[in-house]
Amino acid sequence: PLDVLKVAYSLEQGLCEFYVTMGQEAKHEKVKGLFAKLSDIEVKHQLSIYLAYNDISDENLSQDDFEKMIETKALEGGLSAREYLDLFHPDLDNAIEVISLAMSIEAQALDLYQRVALKVENSASKNMINKIANEEKEHLKGLGELMDSL
């Protein structure tokens, strides 16, 4: 499960950086605020993954040391920020399009984690992956509620 947590952390880190970058590119304050909120969600998810890593490993790493072990910074679906923008062409000043893009990325992450869980035989690893998948479901629920509030 340790390698899975490293990959999960990397994916969440990539999405957080994507949201920060898009927040800087957006022109309207409401959309900038939405990107900030989405990046904050990913930071919290990163923290839970880091804490889970320390809980099940023999190491007691600082978060900085843990991050140094993380190599790839990709989005949750495995695409770069530029590839997502080129694929979806979202209007970064339209809150509904921003939320829709975020939901698409989170749904891909959920799908990825669920497919990995089906292939993993180690029960501890499977439980950890399912926990991360359930957190992605919560992200989707939160994004749906945010969409409904607009």
Report if pTM > 0.75.
no
CA torsion angle for 90, 94, 97, 100 (degrees, to 10)? 130
Domain encompassing residue 32: 2-148
Does 9 or 87 have the greater pLDDT score?
A: 9
Q: What's residue 63's pLDDT?
A: 93
Does 92 or 147 have the greater pLDDT score?
A: 147
Contact 103, 143 (CB under 8 A): yes
Look at the chain and report how many structural domains it folds into.
1
Backbone conformation region of residue 78, classed left if phi is above 0, alpha if psi is from -120 to 50, else beta: left
The rounded distance, in Å, linking the Cα atoms of 16 and 8 is 12
Strands (E), 22-134: none
The rounded distance, in Å, linking the Cα atoms of 104 and 120 is 25
Give tens-digit pLDDT for 103-124: 888 888 888 889 888 887 778 7
The rounded distance, in Å, linking the Cα atoms of 81 and 63 is 24
Count of CB atoms within 10 A of residue 74's CB? 18
Residue 102: give its domain's CATH number: 1.20.1260.10
